[in-house]
Structure 1
Amino acid sequence: MSIDFVVHDDGDSVGVVVIEGVEAGQKLTGWIMDQNKTIEFEVKNDIPIGHKLAIRDLAVDDSVIKYGEDIGRVVSAIKQGEHLHVHNVKTKRW
């Protein structure tokens, strides 16, 4: 089995894509490292390597958790398998 994205812990809300060429409609396999388990779902957008994808639905004002850390606030609802980036997540720093 090949791993397409990684997640640190079950409590995280995003994974990081680790392969090139992810395209909308593709079924991906993710590895949740701390629990040593895998998850699978279809992605909704093309996602570049190194970018984040939602591993569960996120509502406006939800916190985005990556590697156990709060990295921002959802500003536009995000469905499982969608790309997370500056268009739907903002920092809480300012």
Structure 2
Amino acid sequence: MHKFLIHNQGDHVGVATSPIQSGEKVTGVYMDTDEKVDVTSHGDIPLGHKIAVADLAEGESVIKYLVTIGETTASLSKGDYVHTHNIKTKRW
């Protein structure tokens, strides 16, 4: 059973469809291809929040829906909790 969804191939984050515990090995599904991906969570991730499915350096764009949704303020590793502590908007 999957615990997160990724909208498109090329997205850097998925969205938790149920709470994810730190250290939990979880499966996600790409909605456009039905391909599965396994990730080990590096932190607790609440329902509806983002999990990284790609490694990103500080200052890189974060992609969701094949659109840039922000920029990393710290490096991210696959499985990291992605939220306001490590991503910011590029609008201002």
Amino acid at match of 1:35: T
Which residue of the partner structure matches residue 8 of structure 2?
9
1:69 Cα deviation after fit: 1.4
After TM superposition, the score normalised by the length of structure 2 is 0.96
After TM superposition, the score normalised by the length of structure 1 is 0.94
1:68 Cα deviation after fit: 1.3
Which residue of the partner structure matches residue 25 of structure 2?
27
Structure 1 portions without partners, runs of 5+ = none
* Inter-partner Cα distance in structure 1 for 2:73 and 2:17: 25
* Inter-partner Cα distance in structure 2 for 1:42 and 1:10: 19
Runs of 4+ in 1 over 3 A off after TM superposition: none
RMSD: 0.7
Structure 2 portions without partners, runs of 5+ = none
Paired residue total: 92
1:39 is paired with a residue of what secondary structure?
A: strand
Which residue of the partner structure matches residue 78 of structure 2?
80
* Inter-partner Cα distance in structure 1 for 2:25 and 2:35: 17
1:58 Cα deviation after fit: 0.9
